[in-house]
Structure 1
Amino acid sequence: MPRVAYSLEEKQRLRLEKVAALCGAIQKVSSRQTRAVFCDFPCTDIPPALYKK
């Protein structure tokens, strides 16, 4: 398989599409609501428990 170099924006878009498809599939088969939270900044000075609230 040939390697493809994606830009950062393209990688984020593809990741979002995959998550959206997964959420849609979960909603379709389980009749439950799903929610996805994206954190788009790598931050090491804030503990994860604090910004995930």
Structure 2
Amino acid sequence: MMGVSIASMHFIGMDSISRVIIVYDPFFSRLLSWRRVHLLFVSLKIFFLFDVLKNI
């Protein structure tokens, strides 16, 4: 859910700029969305790892 929110925030922000032309490529959109979700899980794992190490 958070990855979808980040992706939609990016595309809505780019769409609000009138001088930018957005070209939709389904392959790259899926690839970038997968990357965002993957990096989200990696960052959460790192966050919880440091949180657990802090409590030791």
With normalisation by structure 2, the TM-score equals 0.48
Determine the structure 1 residue equivalent to 2:42.
24
| Rounded Cα–Cα distance in structure 2 between residues aligned with 1:3 and 1:27 | 36
| Rounded Cα–Cα distance in structure 2 between residues aligned with 1:5 and 1:29 | 35
> In structure 2, the residue corresponding to 1:26 is in which secondary structure?
helix
Question: Over aligned residues, Cα RMSD in angstroms?
Answer: 1.1
| Rounded Cα–Cα distance in structure 2 between residues aligned with 1:29 and 1:14 | 22
With normalisation by structure 1, the TM-score equals 0.51
> In structure 2, the residue corresponding to 1:21 is in which secondary structure?
helix
Give the total of aligned pairs: 31
Unpaired runs of at least 5, structure 1: 32-53
Unpaired runs of at least 5, structure 2: 1-16, 50-56
Q: Determine what percentage of the aligned residue pairs are the same residue.
A: 13
Q: Which has the higher helix share?
A: 2
Report 1 or 2 for greater relative contact order, CA contacts < 8 Å, sequence distance ≥ 6.
2
Matches within 5 A, 1:1-53: 1=17, 2-31=20-49
| Rounded Cα–Cα distance in structure 2 between residues aligned with 1:25 and 1:6 | 27
